[in-house]
Structure 1
């Protein structure tokens, strides 16, 4: 029975770590969002993990995700 509790603990810690990684990923993302929007994205990612991260990312306009092309000539 004790090994079952330790297995549940490891699984729970893994899930919490996954959610935390997606929340941090949303917070430090290079997507050009306002601070409240990034905080909301991080909280949704922390609550729902990968599902929340990608569900919110779908709502972000494409122009904010992609960096504009630079008009510099390369030599």
Structure 2
């Protein structure tokens, strides 16, 4: 993750923060599965809401990853 992103689904909100190499995935179990499928190795997360609803937790994580494509980095200008 090159920058901070946010995603939401239902009552679950998740923030993904860039982390130094070697930190690993600092996230809940559901978010870890989604992030591993995306090929992300190092990230910090912050969640809010009812994260026990795994479907909304997974969707919020996916939506946060989708938001990485909405922002153009200076390389893409």
TM-score, normalised by the number of residues in structure 2: 0.28
Greater RCO (Cα-Cα under 8 Å, separation 6 or more): 2
Query: Of Structure 1 and Structure 2, which has the larger fraction of its residues in strand?
Result: 2
Q: In terms of Rg, which structure is larger?
A: 1
TM-score (norm 1): 0.28
